[in-house]
Structure 1
């Protein structure tokens, strides 16, 4: 399948698949979309929401607070890169797991301009992609990265993550990735009060999330999209 590197409206690149008329990131601005959906309404939201809980846990258990993030669709590595940047600013250690069924080629990686746009070393961005799959790598004192090459159907985590970035290709071209069975896996993978964010806002997607137990809210979307979704796992204790 043919793939092209294109420049989006904010000057950042993405990979375009002509046969599907689909991109890895929004043509209205790849970096803008990533920051709006996954950082503003994901990372910043959950870090502020759980700040007191993290501090109290650290005091009570004498352990370092940590935020665990699962990315569904590691793809170009853009979301991992900006999360690394933001985790340094927030000073919250992040354990980041990126799942990808079809890793992008290194030739494609070298044509993406994210490092330049985000003012980090190009060699650092390239290294994120060069890191060995299936192993956990300590990138900095606030960021660990594990890349896993697997299909989303094979995800079997339980009560592990505070936050999920759901960044799969759209339901128009891959509807099988936006089903109740997939969102059930996401629900199980999250800790209680964990959050899933996605750029999608289709009614069928929202209903699939709700069917497995998520509390779903519509939020203003990034440039080019009216809305996006944020879903919360809320389990009421019987105690």
Structure 2
């Protein structure tokens, strides 16, 4: 049996309105109560993730800020693999560029972040990528569907998954990952089993070993029942 499940949050255990699927919570609690480590992995901040873990009922093992931070349990040390200074410098370049076009970029909660930056989706992410590429800035532009993020190159949910696996004392092949967005691609590829829910874009689906029929939280529950059948046939 797979020893750990790593799951994205927005768009994966929620519905299209970002409401958490209650059946997904029940499935996660079944896994936790059966000794399976459940890791919440998101572009969100650590403080957001902590509250979510408490409410859902996991032990606080997280991947946050698109892999820029990760931690084993609430009492564990927060590991910061990203570099927010580099991301903020790239953001300033983008802000100046779009300001000349009359577009103001709204930064989201930088004071609560340790590794990346996030801002409102009021620009074309591909245009931002072109600016980053033309100016040879060492960051990646991620559009999660909820915000646009800048993360240093070489840091992603997949790299965090591998590092976290080492701390957990298990191999990445013994882990399952579920996601719905472009920032989940490396995570799906790093895990022993990678699953995309049906609402994921084609590129994310192509990185998965299996794609659910259901969308959003319903697809998550479908995947968990498929890969942990003994826990849900009782």
- In which range does the TM-score fall when normalised by the shorter chain? 0.3 to 0.5
Higher strand share: 1
| Bigger proportion of residues as helix | 2
TM-score normalized by the length of structure 1: 0.38
What is the TM-score when the length of structure 2 is the normalising length? 0.38
Structure with the larger RCO, 1 or 2 (CA within 8 Å, 6+ apart)? 2
